[in-house]
Structure 1
Amino acid sequence: MDKKAAMPMKQQTVVLYPSPGVGHIVPMVHLAKVFLAHGFDVAMVIAKPPAGSPDFRIVDVGDLAASNPAITFHVLPPVPDADLAVPGKPPFLLTLQVLRRYDGELERFLRSIPRRRLHSLVTGMFSTSAVDVGARIGVPVYAFFASAAATLAVVAQMPALLAGRPAGLKELGDAPLEFLGVPPFPASHLVRELLEHPEDELCKTMVDVWTRNTDAAGVLVNTFESLESAAVRALRDPRCVPGRALPPIYCVGPLVGGDGTGSADQGRAGAERHECLAWLDAQPEGSVVFLCFGSRGTHPPEQLREIAGGLDRSGHRFLWSVRTPAGAGDPESLDAFLPEGFLERTKGRGLIFRSWAPQVEVLRHPATGAFVTHCGWNSTLEAIKEGVPMLCWPLYAEQLMNKVFITEDMGVGVEMEGYRVGFVRTEEVETKVGLVMESDEGRVIRARAVARKKEAVAALEDGGSSRASFARFLFDVENLDKQLGK
């Protein structure tokens, strides 16, 4: 697509309103860069979650703004939340309810921009009450779904499933669930909140917030069409939600980083090159297993010992970003968490560090041959874009579903058995590392990963599917504006 031809006649402002937390704001920053490349001004509006919320890792807006000077950042004034913070209320429910209270402040900010200059409002996947704000102002509102298209397909079909099971889904255990466009997966792999009784306040709020993504004029999804073709077809199929036509789906990804805004490098643009990259420089191509479990992924000491034992016995090189839960002992002492003599035995072929991991750069490095991951969607896309096969160890949220998509639909990973019970044994770590790094099956998976990488690159090139999808989105916004009488 010709960039000059896509430039708007007059410079307009796009307002991005991400859900709180690094895993939602960072992909929105990458979306902002796409808008900037098309000649738009971009304002990103940040609503802070309740103090101490464990569900959304707080982002340092100052660091983010310094790393992205072309984007205007606006932090909404705090809203009262003390009356919502009742004892026993799940923190995530409190966060969702507080987000609704920001609607008034968001509306005031939007009205401060002349309507003729306001192009559109793009809301995050948990900030969907902003659809009503846009309707009051008469501005086109689109949702940005920062997870998989397959997850969106599940979300769209959830109300019908819950209506047919008034007692809820928890009792199904590992019985398989089937959704249009998605591989069958155990009911236990749904997002935990959706397993509660349908009348439970958290379950009802979660379903409402997520399904409201499809109340927007359209949904921008951080994926590319060939990666999730079945799910994308399902979202365009009248059978997905009988009696209701879903809005247009625009696959605009993969939107990932490596320039100071990636899921693991937020706020560190311009920092010195991490020591682990120099260590990787000295390793043979495709020889290193990289282990990293995201910003919230931690393991107790007994699990760390099992991982270490498996890496030791595998004989393969490894790079391991270790996090331990609060209160698990001296965070500076690795010896307390690892088998006796492990560090000495693996000296030279392994590197362990306790600090932030430059994940995109590690995955991009030629020495990296496999990725042990928690299956967060940002991490998944980063691995796919770099052609690195995954050893899947999901921990929470939609990661268990992502594991199914990665292993069964995309074919670029294997599961680490034991994640369902929260404990992976030494033997499993040794076996799966060997499978991906050495076996014929591993060679097939690695070849698929390389093929997916080529597809991801092609999607973002001129004439690629994601570039074309974004152009279609801009065209649709223009037509919608005309209908709104702008």
Structure 2
Amino acid sequence: MNKTMVLYPGIAVSHFLPMMQLADELVAHGYAVTVALIDPAVHQQIAFAATVDRVVSSKKHAIRFHMLPRVELPPATSTDDGDGDFFLLGYLDLVRRHNACVHDFLRSMPPRGVHALIVDSLSVEALDVAERLDVPGYAFHTGNAGAFAVYLQLPSIRGEGDPSFRELGDTPLELPGLPPMPASHLFAELLEDPESKVYKATMDVSRKNSRYSNGFLVNTFESLEPRVANALRGSRGHRRRGPALPMPPFYYVGPLVEKAGERGERDERRHECLTWLDGQPDRSVVFLCFGSTGAGNHSAEQLREIAVGLENSGHRFLWVVRAPIVSDDPEKPYDLRAEPDLDALLPAGFLERTGRRGTVVKLWVPQVDVLHHRATGAFVTHCGWNSVMEGVVAGVPMLCWPLYAEQKMNKVLMAAEMGIAVEMIGWQQGLVAAEEVEGKVRLVMESEAGGELRARVTAHKEAAAAARADGGSSRAAFAEFLSDADNRQFTRTSS
């Protein structure tokens, strides 16, 4: 009988998809995989529910999916911290309320039948459940090692009486293995009052990752982040049941990204944007896309600035546009399927004037396929780590436009450490002007500096392929993780 790995993914598209790539790797190595799911309908995120449906449908013959029972939830306002309703508090509360369901599910499996439990790094409290059941537990971080290193070190950075991260503003934080990281670039939850619920919850999750996990799987590869990998290898962790023990081991197993043409039922009819790209010269098109959650939707004013900048740049473009968010009512979740009115949002005559060299697509394109197309020459991205990894694997230089979560930290690492991107500065003032859009597009597409970006990202593309190949660093790290899980299982069964 195959050894069974239980995966407990996060409840967001950017957390869920990489873990499904990890599931594929485990299946390829001969493990049985069961995925425990929180009912997507509970979270009221349309994009997430649609993604889960697609993945379950395409992988159900190779992977077992188990929907956890729904639990009673409090009114949405119960997570209000005095400064608004924070996504993180609701997320953590939802996961916490499902811990009893995870406990019952693990107990329902055959004795010693769970080889290991792998949870999303935001669902780390479930590892306490695994520990009580004597099941080896690991955390999977879907972002990069650098941002995760910042996150894990936060409790030791700020002592009692020190200025808050919000008070530090743009003061750079000096952390082992990382370039100077402005305090203002941390997660938004950490820029709140240190006495607030959301700040304390964020710090608590950071501590629990080190306390509960037997190891961290990270969606990166070592040569992309060598300094932080070396720093973490020799770091000391927080206190775990008494004396200080080494930080749990890190396994850099990436890049775990979807392959071109790997989107199941969508492959049955080729997207029209790919046909349009077929008619464009090699490396001539600037691709603009800002994630799948809806949090990356730009204002009408910002859309107009982008349009003017693209038109004035003179370059070909493929631009994915979503309608601006007009309601913050938590009882009415934003519908990602709401089509934008391009005639109303974009400058008069823009579509007609640029129709020969540009195309605007509503809502969605097969991003991986676009990035791998020979015509794509640059990628304007919100710096979500999945998108960054997809850009690296495709060998496309990037323009950074961070919007939320850890994306500002990713931007620093991409531009200052990895050398694969340039930054759109205007995001810091809340509006990237048309002049900057035009100038940065020209820089990447025309200048010597843009050529150097391309050379570096091409080198990282080759390194990514080598890391995942036989004898590569990621392949070796994955084997090391499996060996550790096997050894822990042997210890359990022989005790």
Question: Do the two structures share a fold, i.e. TM-score over 0.5?
Answer: yes
Partner residue, 1:457: 465
1:475 lines up with 2:483 in the alignment: yes
Aligned position for 2:67 = 75
Please provide the CA RMSD for this pair. Answer: 2.1
Is 1:224 paired with 2:221? yes
Letter in 2 for 1:256: V
- Residues 459 and 60 of structure 1: is their aligned pair in 2 closer, same or farther, counting only changes over 3 Å? closer
The structural deviation recorded for 1:107 is 1.2
Amino acid at match of 2:321: V
Are residues 1:208 and 2:204 paired? yes
Say whether residues 1:249 and 2:257 are aligned partners: no
CA contact (8 A) 1:377 1:402 kept: yes
Q: 1:236 aligns with which of 233, 236, 261?
A: 233
Q: CA offsets, 1:318-347, max 9 Å, x none?
A: 00000122339x944212111222112111
Q: In the aligned structure 1, how far is the partner of 2:149 from the partner of 2:161? A: 19
Structure 1 residues 196 and 446, CA gap change in structure 2 (3 angstroms): same
Residues 239/271 of structure 1: CA separation in 2 closer, same or farther (3 Å cut): same
Whole-Å Cα distance in 1 between the matches of residues 238 and 232 of structure 2?
9
Rate the CA distance shift 1:139–1:268 in 2: closer, same or farther, 3 A: same
Distance in 2, Cα, partners of 1:240 & 1:230: 18
Q: Is the 8 A contact 2:154 2:206 kept in 1?
A: no
Correspondence for 1:315:
314
Summarize the Cα distance change of 1:163–1:13 in structure 2 as closer, same or farther, 3 Å threshold.
same
Asked if 1:278 is matched to 2:275, the reply is yes
Match of 2:441 in 1: 433
User: AA paired with 2:255?
Assistant: P
Deviations along 1:90-123, one digit per CA (max 9) or x if unpaired, are 3420221121111111111111221333211000
CA shift, 1:86, in A, is 2.0
Alpha-carbon distance in structure 2 between the residues aligned to 1:411 and 1:54 = 34
Which one has the bigger helix percentage? 2
| Shift, 1:87, TM fit | 6.9
Question: Is the Cα–Cα contact under 8 Å of residues 155 and 206 in structure 2 kept in the other structure?
Answer: no
Aligned to 2:332: none
Aligned-residue offset at 1:138: 0.8
Shift of 1:239: 5.3
Does the CA contact (< 8 Å) of 1:21 and 1:59 recur in 2? no
Alignment-mate amino acid for residue 24 of structure 1: H
- Residue type at the aligned position of 2:72: P
CA contact under 8 A between 1:392 and 1:414: conserved in structure 2? yes
Q: 1:443-454 residue pairs with structure 2 within 5 A?
A: 443-454=451-462
Identity of aligned residues (%): 49
Q: Which amino acid aligns with 1:28?
A: M
3-state SS of 2:138 partner: strand
In the other structure, the counterpart of 2:363 is: 355
Deviations 1:150-178 (A, max 9, x none): 01110111001233555521011111111
1:25 alignment counterpart: 16
Contact 1:53 1:92 in 2 (8 A): no
Alpha-carbon spacing, 1:312–1:71, altered in 2? closer, same or farther (3 Å): same
Q: Distance in 1 between matches of 2:205 and 2:76?
A: 17
**Whole-Å separation in 1 of the counterparts to 2:50 and 2:36:** 13
> C-alpha separation between the residues in 2 aligned to 1:55 and 1:199?
33
For the 8 Å contact 1:93–1:202, the answer to whether it is kept is yes
* SS of residue in 1 equivalent to 2:74: coil
TM-score (norm 1): 0.92
1:126 aligns with 2:122: yes
CA offsets 1:242-265 (integer angstroms, 9 cap, x no match): 94410110000000003676xxx5
Residue in 1 that maps onto 2:155: 159
Say whether 1:93 aligns with 2:89.
Answer: yes
Does residue 417 (structure 1) correspond to residue 414 (structure 2)? The answer is: no
Q: For the Cα contact (< 8 Å) 1:162–1:198, is it kept in 2?
A: no
Deviation at 1:56, TM superposition (A): 8.6
Q: What residue identity is the alignment partner of 1:315?
A: G
1:60 CA displacement: 4.6
